[in-house]
Structure 1
Amino acid sequence: MSTIKDVARLAEVSTSTVSHVLNKTRYVSEDTRQRVAAAVRELNYRPSSIARSLKVQTTNTLGMLVTASRNPFFAEVVHAVERRCYERGYTLFLCNTEGDVKRMEANLDALEEKRVDGLLLLCSEVNDDILRLLEAERPTPTVVFDWGPESDNVDRIYDNSPDGGYMAVRHLIEMGHTKIGCVTGPMGRRSAIERLQGLRKAMAEAGLPVREEWIVEGDYDCTGGINAMRQLMQRPDRPTALFVCNDMMALGVINEAARTGVRVPEDLSIVGYDDIYIARYMIPPLTTIHQSTSGIAAMAVDTLIERMGSKRDKGRVIRIEPRLVERESVRRMK
């Protein structure tokens, strides 16, 4: 493998001149620059990123830690993060922990040993062990999605779940529905609590009662939607509309409705949350609350890069605003 000394010898210049040409850190004559470029091509020389990082104390790499999730929303976020890193000139190291705390700890240590400039944490499941691990002081600037410990070294990206939940239920009310139920996410999660708060606010403003027997806790997966629909089917009185707190559960609700002969939207109107890619291809296409995966990714990467280059000593909370996407899963009541 060629070294910078080999390039300097072939171009008949000093190693410092080769460095200046490659890094554009000082004026070098056009003739010298061309000789260095020709030597680099002939020797197929590749500068050592490790040596460069030791000199400039940056690696132009970011690490991303993701817990396992079958929700396509998270896959869409990861894809958008990788694209944004490329646009900003960074390489992304991606680690999937599959919910294993020991594996998460090993991955965090490995990313820091690789001297990544910053960390992005996207955890679909958060338990006490994960919180204890991530609340430990770490020198690497960090941005977390959807949750996060109170820390001066951590910025947090949240979607505005209270407004999203309010928006979903207000749409159902505007379409004439008064008998509205909800399939929540796991009630230990901030997003599930806040989306339900949005429902309660919309119902209170409209002067409508919240029927607690129509509020069923789900798990943010298809099975949660299926199980919730089975529970609601056992009620003697049923809602005409459901706010389902993510699209994966909405898919489960629609699947179970079809199996039991409940027509969507004729018998049951549904609003989901996330606007995952397949939402528009469900039968019927799903009315849902859109979260911009590209917007979330850009905000996360840009915020992390800004934190890496600043002296800011306080963590920030940044909210991403949702919007309603109307499709065909809600009918207007007469």
Structure 2
Amino acid sequence: MAVTIKDVALRANVSITTVSHVLNKTRFVSEPTQKSVIAAVEELNYLPNAVAQSLKGKHTKSIGMLVTTTLNPFYAEVVKAVEKYCYLEGYNLVLCNTDGDFKKTDSYLKMLAQKRIDGVIIMCTEYNDDSFTTISSQSTLPMVVMDWGPIDPHLDRIQDNSFQGGYMATQYLLENNHTSIGYIGGPLDKLPALNRYNGFSKAMADAKLDINPHWVIESDFASEGGKTAMAKILALDELPTAIFVANDMMALGAMCLAQQSGLKIPDQLSIIGYDNISFSAYFSPPLTTINQPKNRLARIAVNTLIERLREDRPLGRTHLIEPDLVVRDSVAKLR
């Protein structure tokens, strides 16, 4: 038979109410009594009924997270950090992969609401402002959105300053005397991709350099997309001396094809990426990239959602996370 709170009370020689106060920290209980109750809990291996507790209180101490896919190392690293901060705050994390499917996202939100999840962190950059409005209107769950989302007084957003990151990447290539610069980016109808491209464009404009439209390829943030984009550039009669690739996964695919085609990186073609995923340091050569501080991104997202839960009202804030440059070996300095 399952051990009950009554069994714990009998073992500790206290009332059931006292056991409840000790476990839920709802009232002062003397230290000797606390130790007696905790000892009884451990001896009997008592596990409180989480469902019953959630019905009595406002919170289940569980947070849901919707993410496009954990196959992408960037998302996987963010999820790992989110889970760490949830654990430190005493929350469980329920992870849902949406696979870029709007219907699947809607289904997961309904499922999480039925399970009385306290709130949701959303990191699905494939959706636009209109689709998010549909998502938010169908769910009463408190939400924090990472890396995208419309300006909304009822929504908290945690965003990488992608414009600044794009500018920084291009500026680094310019500082290394590159003037023939290409760009491989994600879908321009997605905010992070658009901001990175705009940062690239501004840096080129500030340097009074024209952008060669044949060297600008819109792709999909996946390694295969980077490879396909690089194939289009390699098919041209004239090649750039450097390419800003707007995420590390595309940079991996682009570098792979360039090297298979006989180009030496960085001697014949320099490449800079974006995200600083953990294994970008192990590319050949190690990838110079723009770092998104994933640990800080996760910490602020978790803390912001918990603040929303405690305040019991939407705060409508936007936290902008500043990127930084990580210099490795994939960019050559031209004479």
TM-score normalised to structure 2 length? 0.93
8 Å contact from structure 1 (residues 135, 151) kept in 2:
no
C-alpha contact 2:308 2:314 (8 A) present in aligned 1: no
Deviates more, 1:13-22 or 1:261-270: 13-22
What CA distance in whole angstroms lies between the structure 2 residues aligned with 1:71 and 1:31?
50
**Cross-structure match for 1:270:** 271
Q: Name 1:125's counterpart in structure 2.
A: 126
* Alignment check: 8 A CA contact 1:247 1:275 kept: yes
Could you tell me whether the CA contact under 8 Å between 1:178 and 1:208 is conserved in 2? yes
Q: Secondary structure at the match of 2:311?
A: coil
Counterpart contact for 1:69–1:124, Cα < 8 Å: no
After superposition, residues 77-156 of structure 1 pair within 5 angstroms as: 77-126=78-127, 130-131=131-132, 133-156=134-157
Map 1:199-278 onto structure 2 (within 5 A): 199-278=200-279
CA positional deviation for 1:150: 4.2
Give the AA of the match of 1:291: Q
Inter-CA distance 34–206: structure 2 relative to 1 (3 Å threshold) = closer
Residues 239-290 of structure 1, C-alpha deviations (whole Å, 9 max, x = no match) = 1111111111111111111111111111111111101111111111111100
Contact 1:290 1:322 in 2 (8 A): yes
Q: Take 2:129 and 2:157, find their aligned partners in 1: how far apart are those partners?
A: 18
- Deviation string 1:77-116 (CA, Å, 9 cap, x unpaired) is 1011101111222111111222333332222112112212
Partner residue in 2 for 1:158: 159
The aligned residue for residue 22 of structure 1 is: 23
The answer to whether the 8 A contact 2:70-2:97 is kept is: no
Indicate how the Cα distance of structure 1 residues 79 and 39 shifts in structure 2: closer, same or farther if over 3 A, else same.
Answer: closer
> In terms of mean alpha carbon deviation, does 136-145 or 267-276 score higher?
136-145
| Contact 2:182 2:215 survives alignment (8 Å) | yes
**Aligned AA (1:297):** A
Match of 1:308 in 2: 309
Measured in 1, the distance between the counterparts of 2:41 and 2:52 equals 17
Distance 1:137 1:100 in 2: 16
Q: Name the amino acid aligned to 2:160.
A: D
CA RMSD of aligned residues (A): 2.0
Deviation at 1:129, TM superposition (A): 8.7
Shift of 1:135: 3.2
Letter in 2 for 1:40: V
Greater shift in the superposed pair: 13-22 or 69-78: 13-22
Task: Determine if the alignment matches structure 1 residue 66 to structure 2 residue 67.
Answer: yes
Q: Secondary structure at the match of 2:122?
A: strand
Of all paired residues, the percent bearing the same amino acid is 50
Query: 1:188 is aligned with what amino acid?
Result: D
Provide closer, same or farther for how the CA distance between residues 55 and 258 of structure 1 changes in structure 2, counting only shifts above 3 A.
same
Q: Is the alpha carbon distance of 1:231 and 1:15 closer, same or farther for their aligned partners in structure 2, counting shifts above 3 Å? A: same
Aligned CA distance change for structure 1 residues 181 and 63 (closer, same or farther; 3 Å): same
The structural deviation recorded for 1:52 is: 2.1
Matches of 2:51 and 2:25 in 1, distance apart? 19
* Pair 236,78 (structure 1): closer, same or farther in 2 beyond 3 Å: same
- Residues 204 and 129 of structure 1, relative CA distance in 2, 3 Å threshold: closer
Say how many residue pairs are matched: 334
Match in the other structure for 2:299: 298
Letter aligned with residue 321 of structure 1: E
TM-score normalised over the length of structure 1: 0.93
Q: Is the 8 A contact 2:110 2:139 kept in 1?
A: no
1:185–1:192 Cα contact (<8 Å) kept: yes
Change (3 A) 1:28 1:199: closer
Three-state SS of the structure 2 residue aligned to 1:65 is strand
CA deviations 1:12-59 (Å, max 9, x no partner) are 432212222333433445554454344434432222222222223111
Unaligned runs of 5+ in 1: none
| Residues 1:176 and 2:164 are matched in the alignment | no
- Structure 1 residue matching 2:272: 3-state secondary structure: strand
- Structure 2 gaps, min length 5: none
Residues 329, 139 of structure 1: CA spacing in aligned structure 2 closer, same or farther, 3 A cutoff? same
